[in-house]
Amino acid sequence: MEVSEAARNYGRAMCLDPSREGLPLEDLTPDEQACVLRVGRAFERRVDEALGATPPEGAASLPVQTPGGRQVARLSLDGEGNVLLCLPDRSCAVVGRGIDAAVAAEQTLGLMGLTVAEA
């Protein structure tokens, strides 16, 4: 599982002696690498929870509708290429990254009898 640069930097700051913080990840000991990644992932989870994984202002967002036309969710693509499925009055979940993930999400929703409508 990949972690962001910000998460790696946070993990480095929390796990490493300042004299080792600038070393590439592959030059760290296995224990140091594990700590940096573990702490970095925890950092990312806390940030996602705090932000609710809500799509940013201006993100491309399309309504997900039932066959009767009732909107039950929104499918969004944020500025970083993350595909988000957002339920009303709930937070969003990242379901993938990139156009292929967006197409797969739309096809999966279609198999469930839902359609992704044009905005």
Mean pLDDT of the residues in the chain: 82
Higher pLDDT, 12 or 1: 12
- Residue 102, φ and ψ in degrees, nearest 5: -65, -45
Same domain for 75 and 96: yes
- In this predicted structure, the answer to whether residue 16 has a pLDDT above a threshold of 50 is yes
- Structurally, the chain folds into a number of domains equal to 2
Q: Which domain range does residue 78 map to?
A: 60-116
pLDDT over 80 at 50, yes or no: no
CB contact set of 78 (below 8 Å; sequence gap of 6+): 55, 56, 59, 84
49 pLDDT band, cuts 50/70/90, is low
- Give the position of tokens 């573990």: 38
pLDDT for position 1 = 46
Q: Are residues 65 and 112 in the same domain?
A: yes
Q: What is the mean pLDDT of residues 19-28?
A: 91
Q: What is the mean pLDDT of residues 10-31?
A: 91
| Strand arrangement of the beta sheet that strand 71-77 belongs to | 92-97, 82-86, 71-77, 60-65, 115-116
Residues 65 and 105 occupy one common structural domain: yes
